[in-house]
Structure 1
Amino acid sequence: MKILFAASEIYPLIKTGGLADVAGALPVALRKKGHDVKLIMPAYKGILEKVAPIQKTINLGDQFGVGHLLLLETHIPENGTPIWLLQCQALYEREDGPYVDKNGFDFNDNHIRFAALSWATATLALKGGLIDWQADILHLNDWQTGFAAAYLKGWKTEHIPVVTTVHNLRYNGSFDLNQFADTHLSSELLNIHGIEFYGRFSGLKAGLVYADAITTVSPTYAEEILTPEYGDGLDGVLRVMQEKLTGILNGVDYDQWSPEKDLLIPCNYNLETLDQKQVNKLALLKENNLSEDIKKPIFGIVSRLTEQKGLDLVLDAMPALLKKGARLIVLGSGDRHLEAGYLELQKRYPKQVSVRIGYFEDYSHRIQAGIDALLIPSRFEPCGLTQLYALKYGTLPVVRQTGGLADTVFEDGEHTNGFVFKDADSKSLQAAMERCYESFKDINGWRVKQQNAMKYDYSWDAVTDQWIDLYESLICKKL
């Protein structure tokens, strides 16, 4: 099959979250199974330095009155995946992140920036002659590419099947109606059954309503988003379209995330050499100038610091564990008050708590290899990738039972690979952390849990066939 895969971020070119990891890995896994995948993504500032030399340039014209849109054909050097970069200096070449400015506010022209990406994606999907390559499937990801489905609908012409993957329903890409004209979308689509969303218009709703199939990144999340509690205002729409909704668990690229192969950690190890994890633990403690008592557990956080992730709960629960001698290592950024809360915790416990604001890929690997338990107390979690990484590193996750966390982490007697709690409150989290702390004292029992964790196979190879089956079923329906 020929698959056009559209995303607003793709690892290793740019990453703000799990979307980039998926967009970087699933196409590679599909190509390994013989399918022809091409990517499309904006040419943000600095991206051209990370790709192979440009092979071809197509000028799509000045469709949005902000300068010409150029499609640049190249490939990702690390894995050879072909990619089209959408270049427009006015839209994408900015000093800050892909979505927000240095103060953390959405760019005020995001509706145009990602309408342009969606328009270019739809144009490629519809007019394969542009690149002498006609896709069989268009795979969209999150709101930033969702408008592509609406353009195809508005053009009222036969087109290839569209799959929309929801990585996080809360980010629905909604905008004021007075910005609608800027997108050049058909006004016929602006209604309650189309892309209108509570008096606004939404890129994600466009991707849902006009897709042939909707997927989420875990089976449990696919069920949860049908309810008002998790549906973020889209549960009614999703219930109507329930027959085209499915949950396919994200995978992990074990070439990147495996303690046996990881080039970013001090000491490699596997199931048979699990004792070598202690070398990484001691190195991590030294790196952060923390108490080097390896008989007490290290809890870790690698996450966006947001209340969605339940990280306000950790601030309440953690002091009781610190008083017992536990340590905490944090890597992340997000809500200013949570950043301040963790920095204050570090100030109070300088030999037990280390906090780094930001994201550093190499450091995140050293954390996974060196900590004993990873905290993910999310209020909701579409899939979660950090717990999948943790499992492979013999690091036991402490998670709330929701979304992909419920699908992958179990506290179930001899099958235990982590610690699970149900209620989104600090008392329940603390109880799970206390169970983890007590379990750590039993060296043999802890080793069994680590081995349970490391044996799980969440590789992309294990899930790619589900994607292939979905694509093939959609193509057959169109025939």
Structure 2
Amino acid sequence: MKILFAASEIYPLIKTGGLADVAGALPVALRKKGHDVRLIMPAYQGIIEKVAPIQKTINLGNPFGVGDLLLLETHIPENNTPIWLLQCQALYERDAGPYLDASGHDFQDNHIRFAALSWATATLALHGELIDWQADILHLNDWQTGFAAAYLESWKVKHIPVITTVHNLRYNGSFDMDQFPRLQLSPELLSMHGMEFYGRFSGLKAGLVYADAITTVSPTYAEEILTPEYGDGLDGTLRAMKDKLVGILNGVDYEQWSPEKDPHISHPYRLETVDQKPLNKLALLQENGLSEDLNQPVFGVVSRLTEQKGLDLVLEVMPSLLQQGARLVVLGSGDKHLESGYLALQQHYPEQVAVRIGYFEDYSHRLQAGVDALLIPSRFEPCGLTQLYALKYGTLPVVRHTGGLADTIFEAGERANGFVFKDANTASLQAAMIRCMESFHDKNSWQEKQKNAMQYDHSWDAVTDQWERLYQSLLQREMPTQ
């Protein structure tokens, strides 16, 4: 199958979250299965230096009045995946990140920036002759490419099947109605059953309503988003379309995340040599100047520091656990009051708490290998990747029973590989962390959970079968019956 995969961020070119990991790995896994997957993404500042030399440039014109949209044909050197970079200096070449300015606010013209990406994506899906390659399937991701489904609908032409994957429903890409004319979409789309969203218009809703299939990144999250509690205002829309909604768990790239071959850690190990893991624990403690007592557990956090991730709860329960000898190593950034809270905790317990604000890929690997347990107390979690990385490293996750965490982490039974709590409050989290500490001190219990964790296979190879079946089902719908 020929699949055009559109995303606003793709690892290793640029990454702010799990979308980039998926967009960087799923196409590679599908290509290994023999499918012809090609990518499209904006040419943000510095991206062109990270790809192979440009092979061809196609001028798509100036549909938004901000400068010509240039399509640069190249490939990602690390995995040889073909990619088209959409270049427009006025839209994409900025010093800050892909979505936010230097002060942390959304760019004022994000609706135009990602409408342009979506317009170019829809154009390629429709006019393969422009690139000498005609896709069979268009795979969109999140609100930033959702407008592409709206363009195909607006142009009133027969087109290839469209899939929209929701990585996080909370980011719906909604904008004031007075911005809508800039997008050059038909006003007919602005109905309650179209892309109108509580008096605004939404890129994500466009991607949902005008797609032939909707996927999200875990089976449990696919059920949760049908409810008002998790639906973020889109639950009614999704309930009306639940026959085309499916949850498929993300995979893990074990080439990137495996303690056996990880170049970032000082003492590689595998299941049979997991007794080497404490050497990584010692190295992490030494790196951070923390107490080097290996007989007490070290908890880790690698996350955006937000209340969605439940990290306000960790701040509340941590002092009592530190007084019992635990330690805490944190890597992340986010809400300023949470950043300040963790830095204050570090100041109060300098020998037990280490906090780094920001994200450093090599350090995140050392943290996964060096801590005993990873805290993921999310209020909601579409899939979660850090718990899947942790499992491979024999680092036991402590998670709330929600979304992809509920689908992958189990406290009881034959699959026990972590610690699970139900309610998003401090009492439930604290009880789970105490159970974790008790298990840590029971060597047999801990080793059994570690064994289950490290044997858990959630490679992309293990999940691409589900994607193949979904793509195939959409293509078969397009074929005439015999």
Instruction: Please indicate, yes or no, whether the TM-score normalized by the shorter chain is above 0.5.
Output: yes
Amino acid of the structure 1 residue aligned with 2:346: Q
Matched, 1:46 2:69: no
How much has 1:343 moved relative to structure 2?
0.6
Q: Kindly report which structure 2 residues correspond to 1:351-430, keeping only aligned pairs within 5 A, or say none.
A: 351-430=351-430
Match of 1:3 in 2: 3
Equivalent AA in structure 1 for residue 285 of structure 2: L
**Deviation at residue 443 of structure 1 after TM alignment:** 1.6
Deviations 1:458-479 (A, max 9, x none): 0000000100000010011011
* Residue number in structure 1 paired with 2:131: 131
- Pairs within 5 Å for 1:114-263: 114-263=114-263
For residue 95 of structure 2, give the secondary structure of its aligned residue in structure 1.
coil
Provide the rounded CA distance (Å) in 2 between the counterparts of 1:293 and 1:447: 19
CA distance in 2: counterparts of 1:427 and 1:351, whole angstroms: 25
Partner SS for 1:272: helix
Residue of structure 2 in register with 1:89 after alignment: 89
Matched AA of 2:412: D
Amino acid at match of 1:207: G
| Other-structure match for 1:436 | 436
Name 1:457's counterpart in structure 2: 457
What is the match of residue 280 of structure 1? 280
1:331 partner SS: strand
CA offsets, 1:35-93, max 9 Å, x none?
00000000001101110000000001111111110000000000000000000111111
1:335 is the counterpart of 2:344: no
Which amino acid letter does the alignment assign opposite residue 124 of structure 1? L
Question: What does residue 346 of structure 1 align with?
Answer: 346
SS at match of 2:405: helix
Runs of 4+ with deviation above 3 angstroms: none
Distance apart, 1:413 and its partner CA: 3.9
Seen in structure 2, the aligned counterparts of structure 1 residues 134 and 414 have a Cα distance that, compared at 3 Å, is: closer
Distance across 1 between alignment mates of 2:30 and 2:86: 23
In the TM superposition, residue 279 of structure 1 has moved relative to its aligned partner by 1.1
AA matched with 2:411: E
By how many angstroms is 1:448 displaced? Answer: 1.1
Gaps of at least 5 residues in structure 1 are none
Where in structure 2 are there 5+ consecutive unaligned residues? none
Tell me how far apart the structure 2 counterparts of residues 316 and 456 of structure 1 sit (CA, whole Å): 32
Aligned residue in 2 for 1:73:
73
Distance 1:403 1:470 in 2: 21
Where does residue 105 of structure 1 map in the other structure?
105
Write the distance in 2 (CA, Å) between the matches of 1:119 and 1:317: 48
Structure 2: how far apart are the matches of 1:344 and 1:115?
42
Inter-partner Cα distance in structure 2 for 1:227 and 1:341? 32
Relative to the length of structure 1, the TM-score reads 0.99
Shift of 1:415: 2.9
Distance 2:336 2:390 in 1: 26
Tell me how far apart the structure 1 counterparts of residues 414 and 57 of structure 2 sit (CA, whole Å). 57
Helix, strand or coil: the match of 1:273?
helix
Measure the CA separation in 1 of the matches of 2:198 and 2:427.
Answer: 36
SS at 2:211's partner residue? coil
Q: Hey, what's the Cα distance between the residues in 2 that align with 1:113 and 1:368? A: 36
CA–CA distance in structure 1, aligned partners of residues 35 and 413 of structure 2:
41
Q: 1:303 is paired with a residue of what secondary structure?
A: strand
Q: Which has the higher mean CA deviation after the structures are superposed, 411-420 or 367-376? A: 411-420
Give the distance between the partners of 1:289 and 1:182, measured in 2 at CA: 54
In structure 1, give the amino acid aligned to 2:177.
L
Aligned partners of 1:102, 1:374: CA distance in 2, in Å?
A: 30
Cα distance in structure 2, aligned partners of 1:406 and 1:378: 11
- Residue of structure 2 equivalent to 1:302: 302
Give me the whole-angstrom Cα distance separating, in 2, the residues matched to 1:35 and 1:438. Answer: 48
TM-score after normalising by structure 2:
0.99
Give 1:320 shift. Answer: 0.9
DSSP-derived class of the 2:201 partner: strand
SS in 2 for 1:111: helix
Cα offset, 1:414, TM superposition? 4.4
AA partner of residue 93 (structure 1): E
Between the two proteins, the alignment pairs up a number of residues equal to 479
